[in-house]
Structure 1
Amino acid sequence: MAKTPEQSDFTSIQRRIKAAIYGKQPARLLPFVGNEQQALPKGLRFAANDYLALVDDTGRIIRDDKRGAIQPSTANILNNINIPLDSWLKVTLEFKHLFTGPVGTLQDVSRYCQRLGMKRVAKASSCRHWHH
C-alpha cells in the first residue's frame, strides 16, 4: 500500500492530484460537480475537497501506522452516494477480491460492458450487493 495518495500508482486519486497541479481535469475521469440535490451536469456528486477528505480518512483507517476515522462531515459523501460506512470499508479493504473489472451499480456496469461489446457482466452479484 502506498504511503501517500500521490504515490498510489494507477489510481484515480493519483491522476487527479497530478492534473490538479496543472489546473486541469484528468482525462477519462468524471469531474466533480458538487451537491447532488442540484440539477448539475454529469459528474461526481460531491466536491473535490470532500473526495480528498474521504480518501485521507479512509487511508488513516486502513494503514497500521496511522490513526483515524471517517469524520461526520466526510461521511456525508457516502450518504450522498448511498454507500453505508461498513460497506465502504469492506469494499475498500477487499476490493481486489470483490471486483475484477469495472465497478458501479449493476445498471452502470451493464451499460459499460454493453458499450465494450461484452456479453457478460463480471461480478454482477457484487454490484447488486455493494451498490444498493
Structure 2
Amino acid sequence: MTKARSSLISIDATPYYHCVSRCVRRTFLCGYDEQAQQSYEHRRGWIENRLLALANAFCIDVCAYAIMSNHYHVVLHINAEKAKKLSQHDVVERWLAFHQGPSLTQRFVQGDELSESEAERCSDMIEVWRERLMSISWFMRLLNQHIASEANREDKCTGHFWEGRFKSQALLDEKALAAAMAYVDLNPVRAAIANTPESSEYTSVKTRIESLKNDETTAPYLFPFAGNPKENMPDGIPFRLMDYLELVDWTGRQCREDKRGHIDSQIPDILKRLGFESDEWLDTYSKIENGTMIGSETTIKAALPLLGRKRLCGFRIPTSTR
C-alpha cells in the first residue's frame, strides 16, 4: 500500500534519507541496451549534472549517489539551518534558477519599489519557496521530471519514464547512514560492472577519490565529511573521509559471491566506533533496501511519532553486545 510522503520524510525524525528511482520502461536509463542494440550511456551525465546542479541551489546536500543502467540511488541530507540563514534575495535566486517565477518576484530581485500589499504577498511566496528548498519531494521532482522529459524527447515518445514515485528510507542514526552510503557507492561493484570503488563511474565515491587526487579539500557540490562527532563540529557527514573510504574498500572486498564468509583481518576502525561486529555490518549492508526506516530499535521507536506512525517497522540494526 502506498504511504503518504509525510509518513516517510520528516526533518524532526532525521535529516538523512536514502532515495531510489527506477525506470518503468524496458528502455535503459543509461548504459547499453543489448536488446535494442543502442547505447544510453550519455544519460548518466544528464542525471549527474542535474543532481549536482540541484544540490547547488537547494538546501539539500548529496552525501552519496550511484547512477546505474535502469535506476539510481542518492543519499540526501536536509540542511534546514542553511535554509533558515538564506536572505530573501538568496531564496528567490535559488528558486528562479529552475523556475520562471511570477513578475512580482522578478521586480523584487531587480529592486523595484513594491506596494505594501505586494511586498507582503512577495514575502509570503518567498517563505513557501524557502520550505521547498529543503524539500526532498521537490528536489526529486525537479530531478526526475527533467530526466523524463529529456529521455522522452530523445526516444520520440510520451508516457511515464519512472516507476511511480521515488522510494525513500529514513536513515535514523550513524550506523544507518554509513551502511546506506556504502551500499550506494558500491552498487557498480555489486553489479559486477566495476572492479573497484575508484573505477565505478558516476558514483560519489569515485568523485571524492578524484578530488583527493587533485588536492581538493572536498568534492564540489557533495556534502563534505566533518570527522567524528564532537562539540562545535562543522557542517558535514559525521565521519572522517579516509575512514569511510577504508570502509568502502573493505566492504567491497567482502560483497563478492566468491568472497562470502571471508573476513579480512584488517577490519576498519570505523566499524569499532560505530559499534558493529564485522558480520553484523555485512548483514546490515546487504539488507539496506528493506523497509522505509533504518536504525536501531531505539531510534526507530523514537522516530515513529515524528513520522506519524504507530507500528514498529523498518530494518532494525542489531545493537552490539561488546
Same fold (TM over 0.5): yes
Matched, 1:131 2:322: no
Per-residue CA deviation, residues 84-110 of structure 1 (Å, 9 max, x unaligned), is 1111112223445xx412111223223
Matched with 2:304 is 113
* TM-score for both structures, normalised by structure 1: 0.61
What is the aligned residue count?
117
SS state of the match for residue 111, structure 1? helix
**Residue 178 of structure 2 aligns with which residue?**
none
What does the per-residue CA deviation read over 1:3-46, in whole Å, with 9 as the maximum and x for residues that have no partner?
xx8446314345744885752344xxxx633134x435376442
Higher Rg: 2
Q: Would the alpha carbon gap of residues 119 and 19 (structure 1) be closer, same or farther in structure 2, given more than 3 Å must change?
A: farther
Identify the structure with the greater helix proportion. 1
| Counterpart residue type for residue 39 of structure 1 | E
Match of 1:10 in 2: 73
Instruction: After TM superposition, list the pairs within 5 Å mapping 1:31-110 onto structure 2.
Output: 32-36=225-229, 38-41=230-233, 44-64=237-257, 70=264, 72=266, 75-96=268-289, 99-110=290-301
Give % identity. Answer: 25
Q: TM-score, normalised by structure 2?
A: 0.30
Q: Distance in 2 between matches of 1:63 and 1:23?
A: 31
**Structure 1 residues 71 and 50: alpha-carbon distance in aligned structure 2, compared to 1, 3 A threshold:** farther
The C-alpha deviation readout for 1:35-87, integer Å capped at 9, x for no partner, is 34x43537644212221221222122112478x85563x52101001111111
Query: Relative to structure 1, is the Cα distance of residues 52 and 70 closer, same or farther in structure 2, using a 3 angstrom cutoff?
Result: farther
How far apart are the structure 2 equivalents of 1:101 and 1:46? 24
Letter in 1 for 2:73: F
